[in-house]
Each structure stands twice: as structure tokens, then as C-alpha cells.
Structure 1
Amino acid sequence: MELWFTEKSNDSVGLTLLIKEHLYHKESKYQTIDVLESAYYGKVLVIDKVVMLTERDEFIYHELLTHVPLQYMENPLSALIIGGGDGGTAREVLKYRSVNRVVLVEIDEEVIETSKKFFPTLSFSFDDKRLEVVIEDGAKFVKETDEKFDLIIVDSTDPVGPGEVLFSSEFYKDCSSILKDSGVLTAQTESPFDLVYRPVIQNIYKNLKTGFKTVRMYLGSIPTYPFGLWSFAFASNRMDPLKEELKNPFIPDGLKYYNRELGRCVFNLPNFVKEIIDET
């Protein structure tokens, strides 16, 4: 008998995967964690019945979230990752030789342990001596830290449950206060093709604008995320990617998705997406 997993994006649309084996199940303090072995996408990390990543396409999300901002920075030294317990975002940031310190703040240690067990191509980043892991609420860390960073990456779950606070106006203001003068924040901001989430996206960008002078959206195509189209925010008080040139003289070898030609054009938005942002 075949086993299929379906993640419903709404009442009439979803993603369905043929599953070879249910490898792992864990009820953590904050959420339900599952690892599935799929027939096409390899191992799949599922949190609260939502696909977080698959082995086959995770590189798209992680490269877009990291290399887009890092290529606009001439000499990035430090980064703060909020969430990202699978290690994929840290893996990409740590590819930059100039980066000497990365702090990853994850509220749920079980996500990190699950990744170490089942996703070694992501979790090997936890062995890098430049990476410090803090098990704590990300919003609390941002509010209380005295450290300033060149880059903040909000690699969070959807704006529900423990991740909801990471989309608030107060959180974005706190992030702005711990960025260096020319620093950048990037964050995942859901699918603009999802009619249910359009008001949520509008609210996210409204909140971002309370903390940052410049807020831009960029897009990427991720097959296993709802509707295959995903948005990201680029926020800064000094830098506007529509007016700046790429400054980083270094680009890591072996990237599967990002290149500099792509990095210059991801901010070009379809008309229907522009209309969503203009309504904020």
C-alpha cells in the first residue's frame, strides 16, 4: 500500500508527496517534528504538518535568504540568524571567508538535534568554530543583546505559534537597533500567490517599515513551498538594493541557485505582487 503525505496550503490546494518511510516523529515543547523519506525529494523535514525543507530543493531557499544580502556587503564580518535550526542558513553564511562570527538563536533545540541526525548536508555547519548556538526565544535575544551585527537573517516558520512574534513591529524595531549602520535584515515572508496570506504579507511589510527606512521584496521559486513562489524581505537603514551595486568581491564556489545576474534581478516584481506591497 502506498503512503502519501499532503500539506494543505488551503482548503482546495496542497502539496502531495509519495513517502517511502516515516523516519522520525517527536513532540517537542513547542511543536511536532517529523522526518519523512520521500520518493522524489529525499528526506523531508516537517514541522506541525508543514514542509520546512527537502533534501532536493532546500538550496534554493537557503541561498536566496543569504547570498542576496551578502553580495551587497563589501566585507561582512558578523551575522545573527533567528531560527534556522536545520543549519542550512548558517551553512551558506559561513561560506564567506570574511565572516568571523555567526550567532544562531533557535527556540527549539529538538530541531537542531533532528537536523544533526537526519540532515548532515545542512547540519555540518554546527561544527564550524565561528558559529555560536543559543537556545532561546529569538525576540527575547534581540531585545536584550548588546551586540551589533552586519546581517540579521530571520529564518522562521510561518507567522503562527512560536514564530508569530518574529513578524511583529516591535521585533523589527529591535532588530534595527542591533544592526550596524550599513547592516541588512532579510526574512522569509510567505507566498504572494496565496490569497489567504496576502493580508498577512501586507501586515509584515507594514511592520518592517516601522523599523527600517528601506524595505524591498524579492522572489524565488521553491517547488515544495506553497504555490511554488516565495517572497523574502530585504530591509536596511542605509542600503537600497535597487540603487546599489553588488559590493562583495567574493562569491562562494558551488552555488546551485544564486549567481550575480540573478541577484541583480530578483527585486523585479510581477505587477500583481507590486499591487500587494503598494496596499501596505
Structure 2
Amino acid sequence: MAIWFSQQDTEHVKHSMEVKQQLFSGQSDYQHIDVFDTPEFGKMIVLDNEIIFSEADEFIYNEMVVHVPMAVHPYVKNVLIIGGGDGGVAKTLIQYPEIERIDVVEPDEMFIEVSRKFFPETAKGFDDERVHIVNMDGLRFLRRASDAYDLIINDSTDPFGYSEGLFTKEFYGNCYRALHADGIMVYQHGSPFYDEDEAAFRAMHRKVYRSFPISRVYQASIPTCPAGYWMFGFASKKYHPLVDFDPVRWQQRGLKTWYYTTNLHRGAFMLPKYVEDILNEEETRS
């Protein structure tokens, strides 16, 4: 008899996939962690019944949160990853030799240990000497940081539960203060496709738009995300993701990618009308 895992995307929608084997199940101090082996997506990690990534599509997310800002900012040396316990974002960042330090602030030590054990190819980013892991709440860490980073990537899981503090007005204000004068912040923006996710999507954009002089949203198609459609936020003190985008400089690096291209970079910021309407409504709210 086949075993299936189902992610409840909405009250009326489930995303289900067949499971060959459950490899791990445990409760950390922060969340319940499961690892499944599936025929279609390979191994995948699930936190509190929400798919975080799978071997089949993790490259999409990691490439889009790293290469987009790195193709815009010309002088990234110091990077902060909030969350990032699976190591995927760090693995993608270490391809850039000019980066001098990457701080990964992930409070859940069990999440890191599970990722190292079951996803060594993804977690190998932790082994680079430039990567420093700090087991601390991200908001608490940011309160002590000022003018320290060129790039901040908010890789936390969702705006609810223990990571809720990473989606507040205070958090984005602290990110602003922690960045250099030309710093960039990239963050998960969720998906507005389902009605019950739209309120969080709106609130997030409203807070960031009021915290940074430049705020844009871009998109990617990720099969294991709700509706297969995921959004990211790009916020900056100086650089615009299209006006300051330097495709020639990025292409000269010769980095191998599976998803990101410089043509896709431009296209990712061309959003559907209903998403544009949502963003415009929040930007013009009094």
C-alpha cells in the first residue's frame, strides 16, 4: 500500500506526493522536523508539516535569492543569512570568491544537524571557512548589528510560529540599520495566489516598502511551494534590481546554474496584473 504525504495549502487544497520511506522524525525546541524520501522529488525536509525544500527543486530557490542580488550589487564582501539551516543559500554564495564572510543565524541546531546528515550535498556550504554559524534568534542578533553587511538574505521559513518576529516592522528596520549605505536585503515574500495567504503577502510588502527607499518583488516557479508559485522581495538603500543590474559582469563569472539566467533576472520582475494590483494598493495606502 502506497504512503502519501499531504501538505495542507488551504482549507480546500492539499498538495500530496507518494513517499518511499520516512527517514527521520523529531521534535526540536522550535519545530517538528520530518525527512521523507519520495519517488518524484527525492529527499525532502518538512517543518511543522510544511515542505521546506526537496532535492529536485531546491536549486530554484537558492539561485534566485543569491544570484539576483549578486548580479546587482558590485561589491559584496559580508553577507548575513537569517535562517538558512539547510545550508543551501550558503552553498550558493560560496561560489563568489570576493565574499569574505557569511554569517548564518539559525536558532534550531537540530535542523542543521538533520540537514548535514540527510542532505550533505546541500549542507556542504557550512564547511567553507568563510561561513560562521550562530545559533541565535535572528531578531535578537540583528538588534546588535549596525552598518555591518552588504547583503542580508532572510531565509526563515514563514511568518508564523517561532519565526514570526522575522516578519515585523522592527525586523525590517533592524535589517536596514544592519546594512551598509548601499546594502541589499532579499527575503521570502510567499505567494498571493490563495486568498488566505494574501493578507500576509500584503502586510509584508507594506512594511518593507515603508522601510526601504527601493522595494521590488520578483517571482519563480517552484513545484513544491503552494500553488507552485513563489515570490521574493528585493529591498535596497541604493541599488535598483533592474536599473543597476549588470548582466555582462555576472556572465563573466562563468557560474553554472540550472534556473537563473540574466534574461530570467529581468523577466522575474515582470509580474502578473493581479500581483501588481496588490502591491500598488499597499504602496498607496495611507
Tell whether the structures are fold-level matches, with TM greater than 0.5. Answer: yes
On the 8 A contact 1:172/1:210 being kept in 2, the answer is no
1:62 aligns with 2:62: yes
Counterpart CA distance in 1 for 2:122 and 2:79 is 17
Q: Helix, strand or coil for the counterpart of 1:15?
A: strand
CA distances 1:9-62 after superposition (whole Å, capped 9, x unpaired): 001112111000010011000100000001110001000000000000000011
Counterparts of residues 90-169 of structure 1 (less than 5 Å): 90-146=90-146, 148-169=148-169
2:255 is matched with which residue? 253
Name the amino acid aligned to 1:128. Answer: D
Within a 5 Å distance, the mapping from 1:6-21 to structure 2 comes to: 6-21=6-21
Q: Which amino acid aligns with 2:124?
A: F
Deviation at 1:252, TM superposition (A): 5.0
Offset at 1:146? 4.3
User: How far apart, in 2, do the equivalents of 1:146 and 1:193 lie?
Assistant: 36
Report what 2:43 is aligned to: 43
Which range moves more in the overlay, 262-271 or 131-140?
262-271
- Is 1:202 paired with 2:195? no
Structure 1 residues 251-260 or 115-124, which shifts more? Answer: 251-260
Query: Which AA in structure 2 matches 1:184?
Result: I
**1:127-167 CA distances to partner (integer Å, 9 max, x unpaired)?**
10000000000000011124611100000111101111111
The farther-off stretch of 21-30 and 140-149 is 140-149
Distance in 2 of aligned mates of 1:6 and 1:72? 38
Residue identity over aligned pairs, in percent, reads: 38
Question: Is this contact kept in 1: 2:83–2:106, CA < 8 A?
Answer: yes
Amino acid at match of 1:30: Y
The amino acid of 2:184's aligned partner reads: V
Q: Deviations over 1:235-269 (max 9, x none)?
A: 01111223223264454522110011111221111
| CA apart distance, 1:76 | 1.2
Cα separation, 2, equivalents of 1:92 and 1:251: 14
Q: Distance in 2 between matches of 1:265 and 1:97?
A: 27
Contact 1:95 1:252 in 2 (8 A): no
Structure 1 residue runs without a partner (length 5+): none
User: Using the alignment, how far apart are the partners of 1:149 and 1:36 within structure 2?
Assistant: 36
Superposed CA offset, 1:205-256 (max 9, x none): 1111232111100000000100001000000111122322326445452211
- The TM-score, its normalising length taken from structure 1, stands at 0.97
The TM-score, its normalising length taken from structure 2, stands at 0.95
Counterpart residue number, 1:244? 244
Q: Which residue of 2 aligns with 1:264?
A: 266
Change (3 A) 1:141 1:274: same
Deviates more, 1:189-198 or 1:24-33: 189-198
Residue 170 of structure 2 corresponds to 170
Report the Cα distance in structure 1 between the residues aligned to 2:271 and 2:123, rounded to whole angstroms.
33
| Cα deviation, residue 182, structure 1 | 1.1
Say if 1:144 and 1:186 are closer, same or farther in 2 by CA, change over 3 A: same
Deviates more, 1:145-154 or 1:66-75: 145-154
Q: 1:187 corresponds to which residue?
A: 187
Give, as a single letter, the amino acid of the residue that structure 1 aligns with 2:255. Answer: D
Q: What code does the residue aligned with 2:268 have?
A: V
Unaligned 5+ runs, structure 2: none
SS at match of 1:163: helix
**Counterpart for residue 273 of structure 1:** 275
The change in CA–CA distance for 1:160 and 1:30 in structure 2 (over 3 A counts) is same
RMSD: 1.2
Paired residues in the alignment total 280
Conserved in 1, the CA contact under 8 Å of 2:147 and 2:180? no
